[in-house]
Amino acid sequence: MTRLSETTVSGAIAVASLIVGLIVAFDGPEVDLAAGVVWTSATGMVLLNLRGKVREARSDEPPEPGPLLRLAEVDYDPRYDRYLGVVLFVLGLAAFAAVVAVDTSDSNTLFLVGVGHFCLISALAAVALSDR
C-alpha cells in the first residue's frame, strides 16, 4: 500500500468507529457516553484486526501459524459451505424478523440488526467461497 492509501484506510477506520460510537451514545433518550466509547473501541479493534488479516493475505510472505491457519487447513466436504450459508441466511432473516415481531429495547434492536447483517454477509461469503 502506498502512504496515501494507508492513511485513507486508517482514516476510514477511525471515522467508521466514531460514527458507530456516536450512534450508540446518542441513540436513546439518555446520552450514554460510556457505551459510545466501548462501541467505538470495539469497532476500531475489529476493523484494525480485519485490516491486518487483509494485509497478511495480500503479502507474499507465508502467514504466521495460528488457530485460523490451522482451521483453514482442515479438510472437509465443500458442500458444507452451502449448508452453512443456508443456516446463516435463516438466522439473519430470523434476527431481522425478531426486530419487527418482538418488543425489544433499543440496545437489543441494535444487537439484532448487527447479528442479522453479520449472518447475511457471512451467508453470502460462505456460498461464494464454496466449491460448486
Domain containing 36 equals 1-67
Residue 62 and residue 88 share a domain: no
pLDDT tens by residue, 71-98:
667 777 777 788 888 999 999 999 888 8
Q: What predicted TM-score, i.e. pTM, was given to this entire model?
A: 0.46
Number of domains in the chain: 2
Do 82 and 23 have their domain in common? no
Mean pLDDT calculated for residue range 48-62: 74
Q: What is the rounded CA–CA span in Å between residue 110 and residue 131?
A: 34
Q: Is the pLDDT of residue 107 over 70?
A: no
Task: Tell me the pLDDT tens digit for each residue of 33-47.
Answer: 888 888 888 888 888
Q: How far apart are CA 104 and CA 76, in angstroms?
A: 39
